[in-house]
Structure 1
Amino acid sequence: MNKEIFVSLLRGLGYPVPHGCLVSALGDFRSWPRELQHSRVLVLKPIDEGNSLSIEMLDGQAAAAEAIARIEPPDRSRFRLEEFVDGPFGTIGIFQVGLELVTGDAVLFDLPDGCRFYDHRLKRKLGDERATPRTLHGRAAERIRDDALKLYRQLNCKGLVRFDFIFNDDIPVYLEANTIPGLYPGSNAALSFQSQFPFEDLLILSTAAQITGHLKGDQC
């Protein structure tokens, strides 16, 4: 899903999302929106990539302006600059089989020392360092499950979907909907459902959900 469209939709629906905008809408950094001017760390990300590819963490407006200057002008509509939201990365999976919506657990990832965000190397376990997953419980977890149920319907999702967020002061700040999540043992989607299904059962159920979704129409 286009991250800029997702954030705009969720802001309109009243969900917490990071403040930011497309790079093509920015001029001199002294005229940037207040939230970007006051953020000590900024995030530059492509709006149409997965696995946290090409994301840059930038310390201050001057560093962000330099990074933006390196982007060719025709490509600046493909990048979003937003405030850095502090907190662990989180995710929750959800799919529909028949009339039933099945939600997974809200899972948070504690990062190794020195890692600033949950990047593609950590997600794909490409190095020696590992993020540590833990299941969220209590009222915050209930809120996230309720959000997932509402968002799945509001965005007209089909098949298996993951909603990703930053857990900031007990509040989920939503980043994106992953409408085609990776599905293998140890993947984020599988971790969300591991307390409910063996991985083989999740494969069968999510495949049934995907088939049902295609029969009903295109995926969100």
Structure 2
Amino acid sequence: MTTSARDPRTRVAVIGGGASCEHEVSLASAAAVAAALDPERYDVVRLTIDPHGTWFDGGDRPVGLTGAVCLLRRCDVVLPVVHGPHGEDGTLAALCELAGLPYVGSGVGAGALAMDKWATKLVAEAVGVSTAPGVLLTTRDRAAYRWSRPIVVKPVASGSSHGVALVADAADLDAALDAAFALDSRVLVEDVVVGREIDVAILGRPDGSRFVAPALEIVTDGLFDYDDKYGGQADFRIPADLHEPDRKALDDAALAVYDALGCDGVARVDFFVTDDGPVLNEVNTMPGFTEHSQAPKMFAAAGLPYAALLDLLVRDALEAAGGGRGSMTGP
């Protein structure tokens, strides 16, 4: 532990930003997390990664990766709140692992798999969870793809609905593919799924237990895009109005995917609920994390408010490190 007789608080490094299209969303999540951690219990150390990958300390001073690691090693635990590539995809977990630092959230493998929507589909199908019929395109085979019905185009490894488009007409295909390929070298093309958009938030504990929060339904007119997510237009309904068999099927599917990917801490598993059952959309191992984001709202509905959720995540990370993942570091 890095705490001392002068300051017995646990020192928590909160990392935000990141070199991805989710930079601004991550800054908002990190700021909310840092502000909500109890100042009597936690000494928060802020670190930010700018859109070019440069690390800054809490005073907006560039410190570089070496300086950031030095700051991190003076902390008890790391709370990485970086969404999308170069953060949520396991890269920050890998940095913490190599530095021997306890950290909140999923490990390297789970972050990498869940960030890759194609890999997530393969894992889900392997454990019996349905996904939308789809194909994987690269720049080499893009020209061979022929539109034949309404589809959704999305980058394989991106988030916050960046680069996602509903293509209802063949004339719109090229523009949608251009936007997706601008963010990733691989693009997923999926059939449109008709169903209710319902999310499930899961909290995995160090003892192996799993807590599933009440499901959240997103009521929107058409595609749930970036503007809906962050512009305040989305209608979130918690708990989602589900019959008990449908709720159980949804929870079971979410747990199956969470465990198959090897997730830890909080993950949000997003589904379309159809007449034939749940169809997986995607998995977020570091979902939006302001107090008003989907996952925290679901846990709050279960009686675990935002500050208490953060406290639990930090304490669980320290407990997990004592059991072998990461290690406590000296000053």
TM-score by length of 2: 0.55
Change (3 A) 1:117 1:104: same
Corresponding residue for residue 190 of structure 2 = 82
Is 1:102 the counterpart of 2:190 in the alignment? no
Instruction: Say if 2:268 and 2:285, in contact at 8 Å, map to a contact too.
Output: yes
Instruction: Say if 2:154 and 2:165, in contact at 8 Å, map to a contact too.
Output: yes
SS of equivalent to 1:160:
strand
Displacement after TM superposition at 1:210 (Å): 4.2
Instruction: Say if 2:136 and 2:187, in contact at 8 Å, map to a contact too.
Output: yes
- C-alpha distance after superposition, 1:159-215 (max 9, x if no partner): 211111112226221011101112221211012212221222112123334445666
Corresponding residue for residue 92 of structure 2 = none
Q: CA RMSD, aligned part only? A: 2.7
Change (3 A) 1:209 1:160: farther
SS of equivalent to 1:189:
helix
Q: Which runs of 5+ in 1 are unaligned?
A: 31-35
Corresponding residue for residue 153 of structure 2 = 44
- C-alpha distance after superposition, 1:85-132 (max 9, x if no partner): 122322111122232211111111111xxx3111122222x25x3323
What is the alpha-carbon distance in structure 2 between the residues aligned to residue 3 and residue 63 of structure 1? Answer: 22
Is 1:22 the counterpart of 2:126 in the alignment? no
Identity, % of aligned positions: 24
Mark the structure with the bigger radius of gyration: 2
Change (3 A) 1:63 1:140: same
Corresponding residue for residue 12 of structure 1 = 126
Is 1:135 the counterpart of 2:243 in the alignment? no
Change (3 A) 1:154 1:3: same
What is the alpha-carbon distance in structure 2 between the residues aligned to residue 72 and residue 183 of structure 1? Answer: 25
What is the alpha-carbon distance in structure 2 between the residues aligned to residue 93 and residue 212 of structure 1? Answer: 21
- C-alpha distance after superposition, 1:140-163 (max 9, x if no partner): 111111222222222211121111
Number of residue pairs matched by the alignment: 205
Change (3 A) 1:211 1:7: farther
Change (3 A) 1:67 1:200: closer
Corresponding residue for residue 33 of structure 1 = none
Corresponding letter in the other structure for 1:189: A
What is the alpha-carbon distance in structure 1 between the residues aligned to residue 211 and residue 263 of structure 2? Answer: 13
Runs of 4 or more above 6 Å deviation:
71-76
Q: Which runs of 5+ in 2 are unaligned?
A: 1-114, 327-331
Give runs of aligned pairs for residues 170-185 of structure 1, distance below 5 A.
171-185=277-291
Corresponding letter in the other structure for 2:144: D
TM-score by length of 1: 0.80
